[in-house]
A = this chain, B = another copy of it.
Amino acid sequence: MKLLEDKILNDGKIGEGDVLKVDSFLNHRMDVAFLSKLGEEFYRLYKDCNVNKILTIEASGIGIACLTAQFFNVPMVFAKKTKTVNIFSDVYTSKVESFTHKKTYDIIVSKEFLLPGDRVLIIDDFLAQGSALNGLISLVNDAGAELVGCGIVIEKAFQPGGDLIRGRGIRVESLARIESMSCANGIKFCD
């Protein structure tokens, strides 16, 4: 999506360790009007799929998922992160490894909010190793719901998550796919 690629080039910063910082519009300060255009693009991509629920993960997925849900006119559910290892009988749980924060945490979603027969579109801001996305997919499967596909704002295509998930036959649409990035050479998008 050209609009997003331009925004990343204009407003994104590459920080230490070649980390992409887009917190001026995506995950700290949210440019809501701009993010709504991304939500509209997800709608264009998935509008014929009878989506009846959007699923994301706290925290930075919530904004874009909300704005996307508006176009589909469906509710949004966000999985919660928890460090408690209690066994809850009324939630689906999955494990997610955070490479950024170097820890593993559980994510949970109440069983009453993810139902067999739901047609779920997963929305998230980033896809790199795919750990969060795999965790969300696992929740959808555990619920016996149908996964329509995934909508990602920025995919780090030089990391394996996206291709591994596509390799399982799951539709993954990323609005910007970064082929490479570094302080030295800047950001290059996939064709």
A interface residues with partner B (beta carbon < 8 Å): 23-25, 28-33, 35-36, 58-60, 62-63, 66-67, 69-70, 73-78, 80, 109-110, 112-113
List of 3 A-B pairs having minimum Cβ-Cβ separation, nearest first: A58-B59, A59-B59, A62-B62
How many subunits of this chain does the assembly comprise? 2
- Taken together as a complex, chains A and B put the C-alpha atoms of A66 and B34 apart, in Å, by 12
A120 to chain B, nearest CB (A): 12
- Check if A76 sits within 8 Å of B29, measured CB to CB: yes
- Name 15 extra pairs, CB < 8 A, besides A29-B75, A29-B113, A58-B62: A23-B110, A23-B113, A28-B77, A29-B76, A30-B75, A32-B74, A32-B75, A33-B70, A36-B70, A58-B59, A58-B60, A59-B78, A59-B80, A66-B67, A67-B70
For chain A, what secondary structure do more than half of its interface residues adopt (helix, strand, loop), or is it mixed? mixed
Distance between Cα atoms of A80 and B66 in the complex (Å) = 18
